[in-house]
Amino acid sequence: MIAVFAVLLAAPFFISAYYLAMLTSVLCWIGLAVSWYFFSGVTKYVSLGSAAFFGVGVYVTAAFGKVLPFPLVILLAGVIVFLFACGIGLVTLRLRGIFFAIFTYGLAELLNNIILFWEMKVTGTRGRFVISMNVYYPILLITFAALLTILFLMRSKIGLALRMIGDCEEAAIHFGVNTTKYKILGFAISSLFMGLLGAAFAPRWGYIDSGIAFNPLYSFMPAIMTLFGGAQILIGPIVGAVIISILEEYLLTTFKDYFMLILGSIMIIVILTLPDGLTGKLLKRGVKALRTPP
């Protein structure tokens, strides 16, 4: 992992601007997918609200980017998103399964509508400019921080509690796990990284409006990537994010109009043919290979 980090740290000196931009988005998607996996993949509380937290991060940069130094802006975004996610978690995590998914699905749409209305009625503007800069290093750092934190947390008490909730919430309650506390904490940590990534990614656009910041694609993609890669182990979302984001780049540049159509079809085919994801399939095969002597 350190070797990969070192290679990525040196990457800007070797590759062209186009590939650097692509690498930045791949890294950002890895960060988002891993954050999604940490809460939704593990507990099976499907959140479709990643875009809301990502978007809040984007807007923090848009609002404070010119006033505060950049690292401070990202820090501020982290604090705001963390508190926001705690609040949302407090309200919604009593909901089971599908209700939680619906609620989070509407969250990004709601924020989008509120900001649109605010801009229309109060400021009379549409969208705003953001400080413009290369965001490769901030994204790299945040994604690796997310990976390390989640790797560490998965082995700690929080990770165990979340995994138990995913397997059987009733059993977890009977074992004296404070499920509400861990669910909120897990949700807030997962959202925190999404917000940080949003704040760090914003300068790449230069100009944003609520439609860009709260694009529902940011809600679906982490979920699709994790499922495609497999939600059993942490490698799953990483593999999924790399493959799907490169595919996205390719499809967007060659068949722009058919992008969403193909993405939707892939989603359907993946769920029908690889219900446990790519790594899930390999994992199963590996276990089988170990069990049956040659």
Partner 1 sequence: MISPSLFLDILIGGLILGAIYSVIASGLNLQYGVTRMLNVAHGDFLMLGAYITYFSVTLLHLNPFASIIIVGPLMISVGLLIYALIFRRVVTLSRTAGELEFRSLLLFFGLSFVIQNLAMILWTANYRGYEAPSLGSVTIAGVPFEVSRILIALLSILINVFLYLFLRFTKIGLAMRATVDQPEGAQLVAINIYTIFAISFGLGILLAGWSGILVSVLYSAINPFMGVPYTLIALVLVVLAGVGSFKGNIVGGFILGYLAYFTMRVIHSALTLVVIYAALVVILLVRPRGLFAR
Binding residues (CB under 8 A) for partner 1: these are: 44, 46, 91-92, 94-95, 97-99, 101-103, 105-106, 109-110, 113-114, 116-117, 120-121, 220, 223-224, 227, 257-258, 260-261, 263-268, 271-272, 275
Of residues 17 and 98, the one with the C-beta less far from partner 1: 98
Based on CB atoms, which residue is closest to partner 1, 83 or 269? 269
CB-nearer residue toward partner 1: 102 or 151: 102
For residue 136, the minimal CB distance to partner 1 (Å) is 30
CB of 228 to partner 1, least distance (A): 10
52 or 188: whose CB is closer to partner 1? 52
Shortest Å distance, C-beta 124 to partner 1 = 14
Q: Give 207 or 258: the residue with its C-beta nearer to partner 1.
A: 258
Radius of gyration (C-alpha) of the chain in whole angstroms: 19
In the complex, the smallest distance separating the C-beta of residue 186 from partner 1, rounded to whole angstroms, is 17
